[in-house]
Amino acid sequence: MFWKYDTIAEREFLSTADTGDILLFRTIKDQLGPRITRTFTASHFDHVAMILKFEHENDELFVIDATAGSGVAI
């Protein structure tokens, strides 16, 4: 039941994360944009990213993330 924890150790994260897993974030700094997002979505979270993990890449883990400033990045 990993979704019940606010944090996870890096070693455990790297060994259990898999393609398609969703990461939910809450911005730590009290900024207007994230606060508006949380208000309109009625959510504790204000940002999302997705995991890509390829077996042929030595189990290297990639995070797909989209931001207003830089667009979608891996």
**Domain span holding position 64:** 2-73
Number of domains within the chain: 1
pTM: 0.70
Phi/psi at 47 (5° precision): -155, 150
How far from chain centre, in Å, is Cα 25? 6
Task: Say which residue, 43 or 19, is predicted with more confidence.
Answer: 19
What's the pLDDT tens digit per position in 32-55? 888 888 888 888 888 889 999 887
- Residue 26 one-letter amino acid: R
Half-sphere exposure of 20 (CA within 13 A, CB side): 0
